[in-house]
Structure 1
Amino acid sequence: MSPAKYTQTLFGRTGLTITLAFLVFSLFAVLVNVTLILRPIERQAADDLAALIELSTKTWVELPPATRTDFEREMRKSHQLRIYEAENEIAAYEDDKAYLIALVDSLENRIGKPVPLRKMNLSDDWLWVDIPIASRVLRIGFEAERMEVQIPLALVLIVVMGTLIVTLVSLVLVRRITKPLARLVEATATLGQAQDHVQVPEEGPSELAELARGFNRMDTQVRELLANRTTLLAGVSHDLRTPIARVRLAVELLPSEQKSELEQGILDDLEEMDNLIGQAMEFARSLGDSSKVMTVDVGALLLEIVEEYARGGHAVRLSAESDCVGKLSSNALRRVTTNLLDNAVRYSHEQPVELSCESDAGSVIIRFADRGPGIPEAFRRVAFDPFWRMESSRNPDTGGSGLGLAVVKQLCDANGWEIELGESVIYGGLEVTLRLPLSTEE
């Protein structure tokens, strides 16, 4: 999943929000620590060093000359300070570190004179201050690393580790919430479909478990409703065929001297009713379609269908690639293809129908193009509704029952296929694009 898509998920957004919130809190904590803790400590440490330097110079002056060497040695050992009487001038040294600025300010306040920092050379690790006292100048040195405080590094480590720990914990918690939701989203894609469906596990936090339980109840009710509707349509269609068959038989058994054009009209009407009932039964079967999925050579299947149309005197031209193979329901694909070809042949007025098949990024794309009037864009969304016809008179001479595309849509939805109606740029009629996501796994 790309970063852009990841941030659109509930898991990604929640994890990112928690991480950013803790990062902002950590930065605020660092700012508070630096302002209210580190800076005061730094100023206090600089003032303590200034007091030690002042006391050392006064003590050095008061001591007998014979004991000053021992005092200097002791200061070097115990306080890391070097003291001796300055005999020459060394260059001033400027540094913008807050600790050094505070040290210089404290020394100047205590002594009452300017006390610049000095450094013997750039490679020297010691900093020096010259303190005038009792008609002489004492030079006091301290190591530059004395002012290096490691507390900021500790704060950085705390922030980094805290952010990492909170991020990992928050991702685990968010995942526990979003995983059941993700399963629920996957289940909604097959809601009410006839294919084998596993109910959503009713686990996790009580709210999510109750949501899954409610969804499973709804899914069961939808499946029962669809099954009842399928049974009702199939039962009514079947029961209607029995009296129609009796009427047809009675008409055909009439004495030949009584047969007339009226009889032929009755037979034609009965044939039309029988066709309509047959399409209604086909629509009912499509609502409960559970065809077996198997490895299918789509190109070979289309060629077989095209040959059947050729034997019936219909011109259908096929262009198919050789690698259109995958796992799908061959019965469902055959019914979808024949329904679409029946429509194309009906409206092409004996002109050839173009059928093509190609593979593209794990899918097979089948296109049906005719030379008929097509379907205006404003009506393409409702064209899949049962019994819908663009010509509203229901005249059988100008169209079918309005169930052909409805059956196609039901079968496509049940198998996870995509179907789109458009206009054929080359032939000017309707172009139907059918996309079949394929799986080659056994």
Structure 2
Amino acid sequence: MSRRRRLVPGTLFGRALLTLIFTFGLYAIITFGVIAIYALVPVAQRSATDLASIMVLSARTLQQLPPHLREDYRAKLAGEYQIRLAEERPVADVHRYFFPYQSLVEEALSERLGRPAEMITSLANGDRWFWVEIDVEGQILWTGFPRGRLGTRPLQGLMVIVALAVLLILGTTIVLAGRLASPLKRLSEAAEQVAFGLSPHPLPETGPAELANLARQFNETDRQIRELLANRTLLLTGISHDLRTPLTRLRLAVAMLPADRPPSLVARMERDIEEMNALITQAIEFGKSLGAGRREEIDLNAIVEDVTAGRARVLWHRGNPCPCRVDTLALRRILGNLVENALTYSSGLVEVRLDRGPPSPRVSVLDRGPGIPLAEREAIRSSYYRLELSRSRRAGGSGLGLAVAHQLAQDNHMELRLGLRPGGGTIASIRVVDGGRADASSGATVDG
């Protein structure tokens, strides 16, 4: 049984993971938005306003200085404030450069200059510069600052924040969802094993109080089921012993009857004793021989030949080899019960077919009997239920054949199907799931 955790939206783990990712992701987005609106944007706006004021003031101050002091002033601006003043238009870069801070500076410059201000960018010695045209008393000055002046990398910072948020959210949600889903997944797998007649290992009674209590209750229920099955076998064995003792005395008493007794009466009494003994034997086998057995590699043709050998009205043709891992005893008993049931309820030939698949091998038993009435299709899987209601052994069996086949199929990961045969009769087929786990349809179903 696979232990790998699958990220499927329909599973508990998948739903819990997606819910936590959505919740934490939405919280991260809202948190980032709040910080940006109430902290980052106001700081950026204030910084852009200060920078715009320095740029306008620097340009106006330059015009008011004597010509011999202007070069020193330019050098001081470039060295201390990283702002340059030029009379000629810089060579603009034709490539668009995404820089949200530029729009904030343009808005601040527009307020200072009283007209729309549009900045251009240029490249100088590998540095990105931002320039704006400023009119000072009729003279045009280009004032610029480098990208490195700000010392910020908002896009890189945003990528780091997003990457860390994604890693933290995924890591946290996987851990939380795993701690929630793992105990329930173990419980589901253990319950599935119980449904197939297996005895799972006790679940660890750890974790949150609710899950620990659930595991404790499941372990207790599983223990009680095992005790119940053991007591059932012990009870049937005791009943067998207690009933067969008086049957032995009855058989002895019949054998000691006077010779003048009618032979027909003695034969009827012996037949009744043997019938009672056969019923007891079948009941004991039903109670203690069910369950999952050991699988082995075998050709299904060999099992079918073993079941059909010596039966006069059974039609079977051996085909190509069909190797499969299967519990041979369980499959032989299921096929034997199906063939016996078909011979009992039909007077014509009973055909057995082996289909190699895909998806998996299937053995079918086809007869030309009366078929299965619609009202009886669910009840036929019950113990001691017979379509023929008389209690005569000549007319019908004990009612355990299909019940045994159904239980064995369920315990050994096989699929038993009962349906109507075209033209009249019944098709009983058993699908062998090679190698292990059966699907959700394992067990017995009835087709229309």
TM-score (norm 1): 0.84
**Partner AA of 1:374 in structure 2:** G
3-state SS of 1:132 partner? strand
The residue correspondences of 1:43-442 to structure 2 (distance < 5 A) are 43-85=45-87, 99-117=101-119, 126-143=129-146, 149-191=152-194, 197-259=200-262, 261-287=264-290, 289=291, 291-307=293-309, 309-310=310-311, 313-326=312-325, 328-358=326-356, 360-361=358-359, 363-425=360-422, 428-439=424-435
Q: Is the 8 A contact 1:192 1:219 kept in 2?
A: no
**Partner AA of 1:337 in structure 2:** L
Q: 1:33 to 1:260 in 2, by over 3 A?
A: same
Which residue does 2:441 correspond to in 1?
none
Shift of 1:399: 1.9
- Cα-to-partner distance string for 1:335-364 (whole Å, 9 max, x where unaligned): 222111110111221423323252545x44
- Cα-to-partner distance string for 1:221-243 (whole Å, 9 max, x where unaligned): 11111121222223323432333
Shift of 1:67: 0.8
Alpha-carbon distance between aligned partners in 2 of 1:420 and 1:164, rounded to the nearest angstrom: 50
**Partner AA of 1:183 in structure 2:** R
Q: 1:347 to 1:5 in 2, by over 3 A?
A: farther
Alpha-carbon distance between aligned partners in 2 of 1:209 and 1:153, rounded to the nearest angstrom: 46
3-state SS of 2:362 partner? strand
- Cα-to-partner distance string for 1:130-164 (whole Å, 9 max, x where unaligned): 33334433332334676795224313321221221
Q: Is the 8 A contact 1:99 1:147 kept in 2?
A: no
Alpha-carbon distance between aligned partners in 2 of 1:10 and 1:97, rounded to the nearest angstrom: 44
Matched residue pairs, number?
432
Shift of 1:377: 4.3
Q: Is the 8 A contact 1:389 1:402 kept in 2?
A: yes
- Cα-to-partner distance string for 1:150-203 (whole Å, 9 max, x where unaligned): 224313321221221231233134323433322222221232876564333334
Q: 1:315 to 1:84 in 2, by over 3 A?
A: closer
Shift of 1:13: 1.8
Which residue does 1:17 correspond to in 2?
19
Shift of 1:71: 0.8
Shift of 1:292: 4.5
3-state SS of 2:144 partner? strand
Q: Is the 8 A contact 2:127 2:146 kept in 1?
A: no
Q: 1:435 to 1:113 in 2, by over 3 A?
A: closer
**Partner AA of 1:398 in structure 2:** A
Shift of 1:4: 8.7
**Partner AA of 2:427 in structure 1:** E
Alpha-carbon distance between aligned partners in 1 of 2:127 and 2:243, rounded to the nearest angstrom: 109
Q: Is the 8 A contact 1:370 1:431 kept in 2?
A: yes
- Cα-to-partner distance string for 1:288-317 (whole Å, 9 max, x where unaligned): x5654444333212212222x33xx33231
Q: Is the 8 A contact 2:7 2:13 kept in 1?
A: no
Alpha-carbon distance between aligned partners in 2 of 1:59 and 1:45, rounded to the nearest angstrom: 21
TM-score (norm 2): 0.83
Which residue does 2:446 correspond to in 1?
none
Structure 1 residue ranges without an equivalent (≥5)? none
**Partner AA of 2:73 in structure 1:** F
3-state SS of 1:398 partner? coil
Q: 1:120 to 1:230 in 2, by over 3 A?
A: closer
Q: 1:357 to 1:275 in 2, by over 3 A?
A: farther
3-state SS of 1:349 partner? coil
Alpha-carbon distance between aligned partners in 1 of 2:91 and 2:156, rounded to the nearest angstrom: 34
**Partner AA of 1:60 in structure 2:** L
Alpha-carbon distance between aligned partners in 2 of 1:423 and 1:151, rounded to the nearest angstrom: 73
Q: 1:270 to 1:120 in 2, by over 3 A?
A: closer
Q: Identity of paired residues, percent?
A: 35
- Cα-to-partner distance string for 1:65-85 (whole Å, 9 max, x where unaligned): 101011112222322322244
Structure 2 residue ranges without an equivalent (≥5)? 437-448
Shift of 1:256: 4.1
**Partner AA of 2:362 in structure 1:** I
Alpha-carbon distance between aligned partners in 2 of 1:218 and 1:335, rounded to the nearest angstrom: 30
Alpha-carbon distance between aligned partners in 1 of 2:209 and 2:121, rounded to the nearest angstrom: 71
Greater displacement, 130-139 / 56-65: 130-139
